[in-house]
Chains A and B, each alone.
Chain A
Amino acid sequence: AQKITQTQPGMFVQEKEAVTLDCTYDTSDQSYGLFWYKQPSSGEMIFLIYQGSYDEQNATEGRYSLNFQKARKSANLVISASQLGDSAMYFCAMREGRRNNRLAFGKGNQVVVIP
């Protein structure tokens, strides 16, 4: 079964607008971590934000925030004030348990920011 689901098709976003990328996950573990990465055309995976399953507050990192709804098993990424440099693939990932760095990735969302 797929652990991470990202189902939105490619998105076009107007510069300076906010965009929300959906991510749902499936796990029976109580302890897990959720990640969002950005992958521009160069191929490098750029870490954006992390949410631990026991974190009570939604994570924020600059223009990135994670809308964590534990009961619904969703971890949506919100990018505020989109910039042209935000055009990339965005991946949601999950680590189950604590003592490992084994991530399960979703298929990704393509975002294109237009001026």
Chain B
Amino acid sequence: KAGVTQTPRYLIKTRGQQVTLSCSPISGHRSVSWYQQTPGQGLQFLFEYFSETQRNKGNFPGRFSGRQFSNSRSEMNVSTLELGDSALYLCASSWTTGTTRTGELFFGEGSRLTVL
């Protein structure tokens, strides 16, 4: 069974540019969540999508946005990039949103963004 796939794995951008990251969840999973990981702030929740609807949003500025398509694939976009946006962006998928008996939430390998 294929895991969560994130593309691109690595990318370099300059300040002021915008970037789009893609996440393909495990087949059958309808919930996709995004997290930002930096050395200083650790892992922080960005947003969650379930059945094409944003269900939760973390405490990030409006430059960070996302969407989910009917096939559950998700994209996140960061506009007007800042140096502090350099991070590992992780996507996680689950078949549902919320509690399951096993609580399985599977992560991809992440997209590592460097902003120069």
Which A residues form the contact surface with B (CB < 8 A)?
Answer: 31, 33, 35, 37, 42-47, 50-52, 91, 93, 95, 97-108
Contacts and interface: CB of A to CB of B under 8 A. Distances in A.
Interface in B28-79: 31, 33, 35, 42-45, 48, 55-56, 58
Given A31-B99, A100-B48, A103-B105, 16 more contacts: A44-B110, A45-B90, A45-B92, A47-B105, A47-B107, A50-B102, A52-B99, A52-B103, A91-B43, A97-B98, A98-B99, A101-B94, A101-B97, A102-B48, A102-B56, A107-B42
Contact of A33 (B55, B90, B99): B99
Give the size category of B's interface with A.
20 to 34
Contacts of B99: 31, 33, 52, 95, 98-99
A96 to B, nearest CB: 11
Nearest to A99: B98
The 3 A-B pairs with the shortest beta carbon distances in the complex, nearest first, are A50-B103, A45-B107, A105-B43
Contacts of A100: 48, 55-56, 97-98
Contacts, number: 75
Nearest to A51: B103
Given A101-B94, A101-B97, A43 B45 contact: no
B104 A47 contact: yes
A37 B107 contact: yes
B104 A101 contact: no
